[in-house]
Amino acid sequence: MDAREEIKKTLLTEPLKKLIGYILALVSPLLLALIPRIRDLIQSAISFSLLLMITSVLLSGLLLLAAYTYHLRKKIKQPIPFNENENRFFDFRMTSDSSNWMEFEVWYFYTGTLGLDDIWIHYSFFKANGEWLPIDSISPRKIMVSKIKAIAKMAHNNQSYKGNEIQISTEIEICMAHNHTEFHCQRFPLVKKWIPKNPEPETPLIAVDKPAPKPPALEEIKILILIGIARGGGSCLIDEIAEWFELSGEPLNPVKLDRHLHDLQKQGYVMLHQSPVDMFPGCSLTQKGREYLDDNRLLDAT
C-alpha cells in the first residue's frame, strides 16, 4: 500500500463518503427543480433580493463542498513523512477480542539490514507500573518483506495467561527480533483484563497434631506367646508358653511356634538368641514388647 492509498484509508472513511453522498443527493434535486422555474420565480411575488439570497446559500454550499474535496485530494498527493532508514511499527489496531482469542493488526516497516532469515515479530503485555505480565506470545509472525510497508495480522490465545490472580494490562509491546534477539520495540496503548485459567483458592496451612500411629493389633496366639515369654523368660520352649498355647485352643506346634517367633522378631516385639544346646533359640522381650504388654495391661489380667 502506497502513501496515496493509506491516506484514502485514514481520511476518506466510509462514514465521510456516505455523508458526501447524502449532501449531493439532497442538493441535486433542488437545483434541478429550480432551473426550469427561474422564470416563474422572477415573475412571482418573490422579491429579487430573496431569490438572490437563496441562490447565494446554494452556491456557498457547493463551493464549500468543492473546497473540501480539493483539500482532501491535495492531501492524498502529499507523501507521508517517512524515514526509510528506520524500523518502526504504526497503526496498531485491535480487530476482535473474545474469551478465548484476541486478534490485532499492526503496520510495520523493516529496513532489511539483517536480511530476511529468522526475522520475527513478537509481542508482550505490560501493566501500568511497567511490570511484565507472564503471558506467552504463542503466535509470532515471520517478516517476509523489507523496505516496504506491510501489515502483520496476529492472534493471541487469551488462555495463555499463567498468573494466579486477575491482572490489567495497559500496554502491548511489539518487537522485531533476529535469532531471538530484539532489535526494535514499540509500545501501544492496550487496556485488557486477564483472568487466570484455573484460579486456585489459597488455603492457609494449619498445623494439626496427628496422633502417633497405634501398633497393629496382634493375633491372639502371638499375644499368648508374649505373655508366656514374660512369665517364664529365657527359653522359648518352656511350660509357660505351652500352657498359654493350650488356652488358645490348639496344642503347642513347634513349626507354628517358630514361625510366630520370627514374625514377632520382625515386628520388633521379641529378640531371638540362638542356643547351641536347645533346638529352639532363646528369646526375650524387647522394650517394644514390654511396653505392649504394659500398655494393654495383659500381665495384670492374667
Last residue of a domain, one of 38, 54, 77: 77
Same-domain pairing of 239 and 265: yes
Same-domain pairing of 125 and 188: yes
Same-domain pairing of 47 and 131: no
Answer whether 0.75 is exceeded by the pTM.
no
Give me 296's grid cell: 494393654
Q: What are phi and psi of 82, to 5 degrees?
A: -150, 130
Write the DSSP assignment of 80-126 as a string of letters.
Answer: PP--TTS-EEEEEEEEEE-SSEEEEEEEEE---TT-STTEEEEEEEE
The answer to whether residue 213 is domain-embedded is no
Which long-range contacts does 175-178 make (Cβ < 8 Å, 24+ apart)? 175/121, 175/122, 175/123, 175/124, 176/87, 176/108, 176/110, 176/119, 176/120, 176/121, 176/143, 177/119, 177/120, 177/121, 177/122, 178/114, 178/118, 178/119, 178/120
* Residue partners of 226: CB distance under 8 A and separation at least 6: 218, 264, 269, 270, 285, 289, 292, 293, 298
Last residue of a domain, one of 39, 56, 77: 77
3-state secondary structure of 156: strand
Same-domain pairing of 119 and 145: yes
Same-domain pairing of 106 and 73: no
The pLDDT of residue 184 is 95
Decide if pLDDT at 4 tops 50: no
Same-domain pairing of 248 and 188: no
User: CA-CA distance, 155 to 159, in Å (whole number)?
Assistant: 12
User: CA-CA distance, 47 to 31, in Å (whole number)?
Assistant: 19
User: CA-CA distance, 66 to 76, in Å (whole number)?
Assistant: 15
- Between 78 and 131, residue with greater pLDDT: 131
pLDDT confidence bin for 86, thresholds 50/70/90: very high
Decide if pLDDT at 121 tops 80: yes
The answer to whether residue 214 is domain-embedded is no
The answer to whether residue 226 is domain-embedded is yes
User: CA-CA distance, 98 to 93, in Å (whole number)?
Assistant: 15
Mean pLDDT, rounded, for 92-113:
91
Last residue of a domain, one of 51, 77, 103: 77
Tell me which of 39-48, 82-91, 97-106 is least confident: 39-48
Kindly report the CATH number assigned to the domain that includes residue 131: 2.60.40.10
The answer to whether residue 254 is domain-embedded is yes
Same-domain pairing of 116 and 160: yes
Give me 160's grid cell: 495463555
Same-domain pairing of 129 and 164: yes
Q: pLDDT of 258-274, one tens digit each?
A: 778 888 888 888 877 66
Range of the domain at 12: 3-77
Q: Which residue matches cell numbers 501489515?
A: 151
The answer to whether residue 233 is domain-embedded is yes
Same-domain pairing of 69 and 92: no
The answer to whether residue 234 is domain-embedded is yes
The length of the chain in residues reads 302
| Count of other CB atoms within 10 angstroms of residue 301 | 8
The answer to whether residue 200 is domain-embedded is no
Q: pLDDT of 154-208, one tens digit each?
A: 988 887 787 788 889 999 999 999 988 999 999 999 999 888 876 555 555 555 5
User: CA-CA distance, 258 to 264, in Å (whole number)?
Assistant: 10
Mean pLDDT, rounded, for 109-119:
93
pLDDT confidence bin for 113, thresholds 50/70/90: very high
Give me 222's grid cell: 502371638
The answer to whether residue 205 is domain-embedded is no
pLDDT confidence bin for 3, thresholds 50/70/90: very low
Q: pLDDT of 18-41, one tens digit each?
A: 677 777 777 677 766 666 666 665
Decide if pLDDT at 119 tops 90: yes
Same-domain pairing of 96 and 180: yes
How many domains is the chain built from? 3
The pLDDT of residue 7 is 44
Kindly report the CATH number assigned to the domain that includes residue 244: 1.10.10.10
User: CA-CA distance, 218 to 267, in Å (whole number)?
Assistant: 10
Q: Which residue matches cell numbers 532508514?
A: 85
Same-domain pairing of 248 and 159: no
Tell me which of 70-79, 222-231, 278-287 is least confident: 70-79
Same-domain pairing of 229 and 297: yes
Decide if pLDDT at 241 tops 70: no
